[in-house]
Amino acid sequence: MTKYVYDFSEGGKDMKDLLGGKGANLAEMTNLGLPVPPGFVITTEACRAFLTTGEVPDGLTAEIDQHLADLEQAMGKRLGDARDPLLVSVRSGGKFSMPGMMDTVLNIGLNDESVEGLTGQSGSDRFAWDSYRRLVQMFGKTVLGVDGEAFEHVFDEAKRAKGTTDDLQLDAADLRVIVQRFQAIVQEHTGEPFPQDPRKQLGRAVQAVFESWNTERAKLYRRQERIPGDLGTAVSVCSMVFGNLGMDSGTGVAFTRDPGSGAQGVYGDYLQNAQGEDVVAGIRNTLQLEQLEGLDKASYDELIATMATLETHYRDLCDIEFTIERGTLWMLQTRVGKRTAGAAFRIATQLVDEGLIDEDEALLRVTGAQLAQLMFPHFDSTDSATVLTRAMGASPGAAVGKVVFDSETAVAWAARGEAVVLVRRETNPDDLSGMIAAQGILTSRGGKTSHAAVVARGMGKTCVCGAEELEVDVQARTITAADGTVVGEGDVLSIDGTTGEVFLGEVAVTPSPVVQYFEGELAAGDGDDLVQAVHRLVVHADATRRLGVRTNADNPEDSQRARRYGAEGIGLCRTEHMFLGERRQLVEDLVLADDETEQEQALAAMLPLQREDFIGILRAMDGLPVTVRLLDPPLHEFLPDLLELQVEAAVAEATGRPVDAKRQALLVHVRRLHESNPMIGLRGVRLGLVVPGLFAVQVRALAEAAAELKAEGLDPRPEVMVPLVSAVQELEIVREEAERVLAEVAAQTGQPVDVLIGTMIEIPRAALTSGSIATSADFFSFGTNDLTQMGFGFSRDDVEVSFFSRYLELGVFGVSPFESIDESGIGRLVAISVEEGRAAKPGLKIGVCGEHGGDPASVHFFHQVGLDYVSCSPFRVPVARLEAGRAALGPEISDTR
């Protein structure tokens, strides 16, 4: 029979698949001899079985009963006993950290009788009734589905009646009344009294945690973080320890290093006379962790020692939750902590220097997505900016946007192109959609471990927390500062997630020091420790990777920038981009030419322009390969609009005005060439074969440019790429013509140039017939944008607007296939092409030049299938370099980072 329940002593940190991150780490701390309250874990297997059938799996109830009995024996108490009750917490915990997305219930076992026993046990009737109040509230909301606002209203009303905003000012009598009113709310909303049977409380709480795996907020978070939806959550059942027994008790969250910057030191929040979720919920502003030393030095010293033990054991930044119960320290959770991008790079190199990890492991501790975050701008100068307030920088970066006060508005305004900053008193998991839509988040409550801070750091969003000088009025849609300044919805704020400053209006931004480093404006040794950390890890990635990294560039400026960023050549030079703007007329003249003479005139006009273009690019990439894609213009982008011409002709006819003969002839041509779907029409190699001499002129211009540079003593390395090939015969015809032109130019200039001739693989048929196409190709380069369109059978320009968002919501796509390669479908075409191409021509050089070449997840796939290089936009070159190094080392060492 399947084992569904494990005691903490039976598990360990490597059992996250089964026990979830929380349960596995509680077990690990137990086995390390750290002070962990006894308990047990219900596995993810049990959750999956429950979610599949809707029923508790056979044997689970009996296993829970047995482990509960063992726990009662170990503690010398019985669950919910009227005189000396054992109380337990029920907490969710999946394999991957999902802070605040699933449910927790504390103080299971309290009822109308055992609350009196807890009073006698603790000597504090206020504590007992406060604990019962928390149970009814959490159980009512989480398990019974009562709107949490109903409880909050009663609680706030009680505080107002006492003339206070501090829940600590409510006494036992107040709390007893609140419990009664909470129980009445449960009765009113559910039609049943609050359950008094402790075992039924436990069973229903476990089921509620299982069900919380599929709440909308949890599913949204998983989509955002690309966490599989079929993993399920484990449930940790842990004997309660209490931080709300008085001012000598409390609860806190600690980090072994600053998760915002990576700096070493004491970081975290502590809240006296508080329980469980109070710190992360941001209900009261917290003390800084170092202040605990002055309140309880013995517990503080033990905590610091425990933090050092955990960081050494896990060899990483640890995020720790703890409770102090009347001077006794208890560890409630640890995990490898989430961190900002900058902190990730700093911590990885620090741990290398401390001898805890090697450089390979350090490289696996950072990601290309994090490096991309570090390359975004930050505020230029704030000297002249008006400071609205200063609070706690919870997630670094700079964000500018219009103020909105709820998630719905944030989503709606962002959808119409507005940059927004989400302002809340404190966020909760229901705000996730708004947090995703916003440029940044500002809260008036909470600290670095509040929900807003943790989620923002995980998403790379700028966040400022604990701006308690600001009065946030959600109903009035206003913020009122201490000096009386009022900011309304739609007004612009700028927030600095590093300093915690909030500015009125828009503040100018400037590139990050990481960008300055890649631009060559800042040497690694001249920058701060972040630049040095990035330099070390990118250099190590270069030494580790097998994949080459090229760039997509169509002009000398982009080519030079990409080379500064570390590009090893150009993988895609799109020649049609050279004919935008004023040059568009040349392509139009060529396509609409009435006879060979007009075509030759158009081609003659193109030759010198193309030659100069190629000279500039080849010069910028001297000594490196430059892959030039022959003209591939979708005709609708280069021809006059058919509808406009038709309307013009119809108006002229209706008004009796003479029709311009040239415009009339143009209408005839455009109507003849009009295509219902130009993306799969007369473009690429088809245009080159239909318009004689087109590709020959381009090859000639490239060869003449290379010959001129070679005569100067440079080392040009041009490559010709034929687009949209679907049959080997197309490539054979173009290759024969290109080789003739190359020979002519060599004879004319006395400068023979070695030019590789290859093709893009961007049509499914080409991928499936790569064996034959390889016989005429010196290289392949996958055009994954078109390959994805044609493989899925949809038009990117249309579907991303019409139904992609719905597909993402429904989970049809975990991520857009234009963002990350669809490994099982489009990736299969790539793998077939690589295998068959190299079988026909061993050593065939193969790369990718779609924007997938700069996507971190896709880079790993391209490494696995054996490509030689990836090519991407200049800005993404450092990201591809880093990820190519990580791909060479294998899978990530941590799933929780």
**3-state SS class at 288:** strand
Order across the sheet with 486-488: list the strands.
471-473, 478-480, 486-488
- HEC string of 10-69 equals HCCCCCHHHHHHHHHHHHHHHHCCCCCCCEEEECHHHHHHHHHHCCCCCCHHHHHHHHHH
The kind and range of the H/E element at 225 are helix 216-225
HSE value, Cβ hemisphere, 13 Å, CA-based, for 836: 17
Residue 644 CB coordination number (10 Å):
11
* Unique residue bearing structure tokens 């970081």: 267
Gap between the Cα atoms of 878 and 13, Å rounded:
33
Dihedral-angle region of residue 407 (phi above 0 means left; psi in -120 to 50 means alpha; beta otherwise): alpha
Q: Kindly provide the b/e burial profile for residues 740-768, where b requires at least 16 CB atoms within 10 angstroms of the residue's own CB.
A: ebbeebeeebebebebebbbbbbbbebbe
Dihedral angle, C-alpha 431, 432, 436, 437, nearest 10 °: -40
Q: Please state the separation of Cα 4 from the chain's center in Å.
A: 33
698 contacts: CB under 8 Å, gap ≥ 6: 575, 606, 610, 628, 630, 631
DSSP state of 403: E
Question: How far from 1 is each of 12, 54, 63, 288, 700, CA to CA, in Å?
Answer: 22, 20, 11, 49, 75
Three-class HEC string of 684-713: CHHHHHHCCCHHHHHHHHHHHHHHHHHHCC
Please tell me which residue in 47, 463, 573, 849 is annotated as part of the active site.
849
Beta pairing partners, 781 = 760, 847
**Burial of 228: CB neighbours in 10 Å, binned 0-12, 13-18, 19+:** exposed
Task: Name the nearest CA neighbour of 883 among 844, 848, 837.
Answer: 848
Q: What are phi and psi of 765, to 5 degrees?
A: -65, -35
Q: At 158, list the tokens.
A: 């009680």
Query: Looking at the DSSP assignment, which residues form a beta bridge with residue 39?
Result: 238
6-12 long-range contacts (CB < 8 A, ≥24 apart) are 6/40, 6/41, 6/43, 7/39, 7/40, 7/67, 7/70, 8/36, 8/38, 8/39, 8/40, 8/41, 11/41
Burial classification of residue 593, based on how many CB atoms lie within 10 Å of its CB (0-12 exposed, 13-18 middle, 19 or more buried): middle
| CA gap 328, 242 in Å, rounded | 10
Q: What is the C-alpha to C-alpha distance for residues 297 and 540, in angstroms, rounded to an integer? A: 43
Amino acid symbol at 151:
F
> Residue 90 and residue 77: Cα distance in Å, rounded?
18
- The percent helix, strand, coil of the chain (3-state, each to 5) is 50, 15, 35
8 Å CB contact between 248 and 219: no
Report the C-alpha gap between 145 and 103 in whole angstroms.
12
Residue 238 annotated to the active site: no
Q: What is the largest CA-CA distance in the chain?
A: 105
Instruction: Choose, from 67, 378, 451, 860, the residue flagged as catalytic.
Output: 451
Task: List, in order, residues 6 or more apart from 745 with CB less than 8 Å away.
Answer: 700, 703, 704, 707, 753
Could you confirm whether 852 is annotated as catalytic? no
Alpha-carbon gap, residue 133 to 114, rounded angstroms? 13
List active site positions.
451, 849
